[in-house]
A = this chain, B = another copy of it.
C-alpha cells in the first residue's frame, strides 16, 4: 500500500482516488489557450471525478522564443503570456467544495533545445519592476535555450547539468466572479511557481464556482527557490493529472500533500504576508484535522515547520508552509 491510499484524496474524494476515464487535451484539441483564470469561457472538457487528463502544455511563451538571438520584448505581447490548458469542468463541483488534483506525470515534449529561460526588462527578483519602481537602467535582455531530457536532465553548459525536476508552474480553479491573468497566483492557485507541485503530489484547490473550471500550464523542467530572474526552465510537456472532488470540504487557499508532508500555500505581498498566510492556515489545519490545540500547533510549528519559497517575482509572492507527516500524526478530518 502506498502513502497515496491513505491520502486525504483517497479517503475523502468522490472517486476515492481511483482513476477514472482518460481524456486528452492535445494542442489541436485545446486550440485557443487561455490567459486568464475565469469562468467566462466555454469549458474545454467536462469530466467526472476520477478523470485522468493528459494535456499538452505550452511553455510560458507559447513556443515563440526559439533562438538565443531572439529579442523577447519584440516577440512577446503582454498580457498574452503564460497560456493555459482548460478550463476543465468537473461535474458535481460547487462553491465550498475542494478539488483534489493528483499529479501523475510530466514528460517533456517538443523540439530540442526545448527549454527556455530569458531575462526580461522590468521583470525578476533582482531588477526594478513596475511595482518596485526604480530609475536605474535596465539589464540587457537575454535568451538561453537548453536541452531538456527526462533522464539526462537539463544541460546548462558543458560542466553543469541540472536534474530534470519538473513541476506545474500554474494550476488552479476559476475565481467566483473574476477573470484574473494567468501570471497571478492567489487563493485559487494560479501562477504559484512552487516546485512542490510536482509528480507524486496531490494539490487541493478551493472550488469557487460551479464546475470548478480547472486550468493548468507553465511547466518547469527545473527551478530554484524563488524563480529568481522570473523565468524558470520553461518547456512544453505532456502533463497527466487525476482530478477528484471532495464535497463539503472548504479550504481558503491551496494545500498540498505528498509522501512526506502536508503543506499550505500562501500568495501575497510583501513576502512575509505570504509566509503568514501559509503558516496560519497550517496552524489552523493542525487544529482542525490533527487533534492539536491551536496555540500548541503554533508553538510546534515554531520548532519543526518548513517553508518553501515558490516565487518572489510574480504579482503576488508564493510560499508553502509544511509539516512532516511523521510529526503531524494521523489525519482525523
Binding site for B on A (CB under 8 A): 35-36, 38, 40, 79-80, 117, 119, 124-128, 130-140, 142, 144, 154, 156, 159-160, 162, 176-181, 187, 222-233, 252, 266, 268-273, 275-277, 279-281, 283, 294-295, 298-307, 309, 312, 317, 327, 329
Copies per complex?
4
A78 to B, closest residue via Cβ: B176
Task: Decide if A79 touches B177 in the complex (CB within 8 Å).
Answer: yes
| B160:A283 contact, CB within 8 angstroms | no
| Cα distance, A224 to B306, chains bound together (Å) | 6
Query: Which of the residues B80, B117, B142, B317 comes within 8 Å of A272, measured between beta carbons?
Result: B317
A275 and B36 contacting across the interface, CB-CB below 8 Å: no
- Give the docked Cα–Cα distance between A130 and B84 (Å): 27
Chain B nearest CB from A123 CB (Å) reads 12
Residue numbers in B under 8 Å from A303 (CB-CB):
117, 154, 156, 162, 222-224, 232-233
> Smallest distance from the beta carbon of A86 to chain B beta carbons, Å?
16
Interchain CB contact under 8 A, A283 and B137: no
Residues of B within 8 A of A283 (CB): 126, 135
Bound-state Cα–Cα, A159 to B328, Å:
10
What's the nearest-Cβ distance from chain B to residue A305, in Å?
Answer: 4
CB distance B312 to A309 under 8 Å? no
Q: Do residues B226 and A178 form an inter-chain contact, with CB atoms below 8 A?
A: no
Most B CB atoms within 10 A — which of A135, A233, A304, A312?
A135
A212 to chain B, nearest CB (A): 17
List 7 A-B residue pairs with CB atoms under 8 Å apart, sorted by A's residue number.
A119-B295, A128-B136, A130-B277, A156-B303, A177-B179, A224-B305, A270-B271
Separation of A329 and B223 alpha carbons in the complex (Å): 19
Q: Which of A79, A156, A276, A300 has the most CB of B within 10 A?
A: A276
